[in-house]
Amino acid sequence: MPVTTSDKRARFRKLHETGCFIIPNPFDIGSAKALQHQGFKALASTSSGFAWTIGRADNRVTVDDVCTHLAAICAAVDIPVNADFEGGFAVEAAAVGANVARGVKTGVAGLSIEDSTGDQTRPLYDRSLAIERIKAARQAIDADNSGVLLTGRCEAFLWGQPDLKLVIDRLLAYAEAGADCLYAPGIKTREEISAVVKAVAPKSVNLLIGASGLSLAEAEALGVRRISVGGALARCAWTGFMDAAKEMAERGTFTALAKGYSGGELNKLFG
C-alpha cells in the first residue's frame, strides 16, 4: 500500500516523541534513495549540498529551485523529509509565510526557518522580526492542517556570536511562536547542548554534527531528539570526485578511480 504524505508527517512527529534518531542529509534523488536503503527513518535536505549539485554556492538558490528539489526528493522516498528552507527566501514575515505555504505543498514532513540575514555586519534579524517570521511560518503550516513539523533555528554560533544566553533566549521565543523543534547549529560541547535541551524542554532539539562529535548514544543521553549532518555527506562525495579529478588533471594518472563504489551495486540499489 502506497505511503501517503499524511503517513510520512505522522511518522515524523512520532519520531520526535522519544529517543534520538539520525536524520541524514541527501543532496539529490539518488542519495536520498541510498539513505532510505540504509534504513534511516527520515531524511533532511541540505541547502549547501543541493546548491552544489546545480553549480551554485550555498544560499544562492531560489525558492523555485528548492521547491522543485523538495518535491522530487519527497516523491522518490517512502520516509519523511525535513526541508532546510533556509531563511524562508524572504525578509518580511508575510513573504516568509507565503513561501512556507509553497514549501508545505512539496510533501515535506518538516520545515526549518533560520534567523540569519547573510550580512556579516548584522548577522541575525532583529529579535522581534525573527519571532514574527516564525509565527508566519506556523500560520502558513496550520492554514491547511498539514501537520508539518516546524523547526526554529538560531544561527548565532555559525555567524561568530557564540552567546549561549542569546541563543537560548531566541530558541525559547521561537518555541513560543510555534516552533515544534529547536536548532542551534554550531553548539558542540556537552555543556552547551545540555543547556539548550533543558531550556527548551519539552520541545525537541536538533543537533548538527558535521565531523567528529558525540555519538548517537551520547547525544541521546543529553536529551537530543535528532541529529543532522548538514552538507557533510555532500562534502564527502565531492572529496572523492575532486581527488580523482585533480589526479587526472595534474598527474595524468587514474589510481583514485579504483576507490569508486561498485557500479553493479549501484545498479542493484536503483534497479
Query: pLDDT per residue over 14-68, tens digit each?
Result: 999 999 999 999 999 999 999 999 999 999 999 999 999 999 999 999 999 999 9
84 and 136 both lie in a single domain: yes
Instruction: Check whether residue 162 and residue 258 sit in a common domain.
Output: no
Q: Which three cell numbers stand for residue 233?
A: 555527506
Least Cα distance to 134 among 184, 169, 102, 171 occurs for 171
Whole-number Å distance between alpha carbons of 200 and 198? 6
13 and 137 fall within a common domain: yes
Distance of CA 245 to the CA centre of its chain: 29
Mean pLDDT by groups of 10 residues along the chain of 271 residues: 94 98 98 98 98 97 98 98 98 98 98 97 98 98 96 98 98 98 97 98 97 93 98 98 98 97 97 92
What are the tens digits of pLDDT across the range 237-247? Answer: 999 999 999 99
Report the C-alpha gap between 233 and 239 in whole angstroms. Answer: 10
Residues 237 and 112 in one domain: no
CA distances from 211 to 78, 82, 154, 163, 232 (A): 28, 21, 20, 22, 7
Give the DSSP letter of residue 226: E
Are residues 201 and 236 part of one domain? no
The torsion angles phi and psi of 114, rounded to 5 degrees, stand at -105, 165
State the pLDDT at residue 213.
85
Q: What is the pLDDT of residue 1?
A: 74
The answer on 241 and 173 residing in a single domain is no
What does 125-147 look like in DSSP terms, one character per residue? Answer: --HHHHHHHHHHHHHHHHTTT--
Mean pLDDT of the chain: 97
For the record, the C-alpha cell of 82 comes out as 525535513
Domain range spanning residue 215?
A: 5-230
CATH number, position 61: 3.20.20.60
The domain total for the chain is: 2
Assess whether 68 and 200 both reside in one domain. yes
96 with 40, same domain?
yes
User: Do 101 and 37 fall into the same domain?
Assistant: yes
Cβ pair 167, 157 in contact under 8 A:
yes
Cα–Cα dist 224/235, whole Å? 24
Among 44, 89, 42, which residue's Cα sits nearest to residue 70? 44
